[in-house]
Amino acid sequence: MLVLLLALSHTGLLVPTADALIFASPEQEPKDLIPDDFPYWLHVSQRRYEGPTVLYLGAGWALTARHVGMGEVILDDEIILPNFGSARTLMNVDGTAADMLVFQLATDAELPNLPILPLAKQPPSVGEELLLIGFGRERAKVIEWNDAGRTRFGFQWSKSGRKRWGTNRVASSFVVLRQNEWTTRALTFFFDPPHSPQTTTFEAVAAVGDSGGAVFVKRDDVWQLMGMMISVSSLAPTPAGTTQYGDTTYAADISHYRSEIIRWTRAQCANGEDDDGDKKIDFPLDPDCQSATDRDERDLRPIAIKNAWMIGLASLFACAFWMIWTRLQRVD
């Protein structure tokens, strides 16, 4: 289950930033290191060792929470520096900043050959099952505490985190989360107990270190990035470093910010759109795209050939004119 690091206020609740996944029970922790039939495991990485989570979007760009910030990223066990000056905070239509940040990795870095990460176009639907991946804290021992005469219990976090995955389902969408200077359109999911009718097979929630973590959804047999974890809140006060059933995780809605993410991070040949109308989308499916960084999906080769033919024809006319003019000069 995930827990957030930063303590922020949201409608009177404690909303920390996310760090790691906490599971509803030991029986609900997945035994497999990687989810079955999931191709984007390596896209979920860290800002630094023992640090929060970063998502590699592909084509040299990364996405994380704004409160995490730009910095070095670990990909394929290599530390890769950012392209300083490339950071862009994602904005809302009213000009306010969201808790989301994209930045480019160093252009001279040797990046792993990973595919472009698909971004959800449609907003989340209540009840959709989600796949969560993050580097946050883990579930440790069960603890009890007194809350105004009522005994409560929860799960203490481990001291360090590691990469884990779990599941949950969308509880609400179109939520506006306000934290400090950030306003973010978000989706939410709850931490349900093992025998709840809403609980999932690998029920998990966010914890410290999961900020920037991935929320995927599978639609029409295609995995898509649906959200990015940014915060968690509790229904009642909890001791520091503790999660309890009923906690809520907030994740930025990728579909809401999709156009701006694409604006900063993707050329036409990697934007998921049929820009030239040939019913073939992006590299390598569109043969007119030379690479994922190709900024024009149109086939420019016919234009080049036509231009070359026109230049050749003009040269031929010029040569003929010069020969005729030279002969006339001799006659004179």
pLDDT < 50 regions, the chain: 1-20, 303-306, 331-332
Sign of CA dihedral 201, 199, 128, 261: negative
State the pTM of this model: 0.77
Q: pLDDT at position 12, please? A: 32
Neighbour-count burial for 84-111, b at 16+ CB within 10 Å, e otherwise:
eebbbebebeeeebbbbbbbbbbeeeeb
CATH topology for the 3-265 domain: Thrombin, subunit H (2.40.10)
> What is the distance between the alpha carbons of residues 251 and 5, in angstroms, rounded to a whole number?
14
Residue 7's Cβ-side half-sphere holds a number of Cα atoms within 13 Å equal to 8
Residue 262 burial by Cβ neighbours in a 10 Å radius (0-12, 13-18, 19+): middle
pLDDT for position 220: 95
Other C-beta atoms within 10 Å of 37: how many? 8
CA angle 138, 215, 225 (to 5 degrees): 150
Q: Give the pLDDT of residue 27.
A: 62
Residue spans of the domains in the chain: they are 3-265
pLDDT for the residue 317:
64
Torsion of CA 35, 30, 214, 128, to 10 degrees: 80
Q: Mind listing the pLDDT tens digit for each residue in 246-278?
A: 899 999 999 999 999 999 998 767 677 766 777
Q: pLDDT digits over 161-190, tens only?
A: 788 899 999 999 999 999 989 999 999 999
- The alpha-helical segments, DSSP class H, found in the chain are 254-265, 301-331
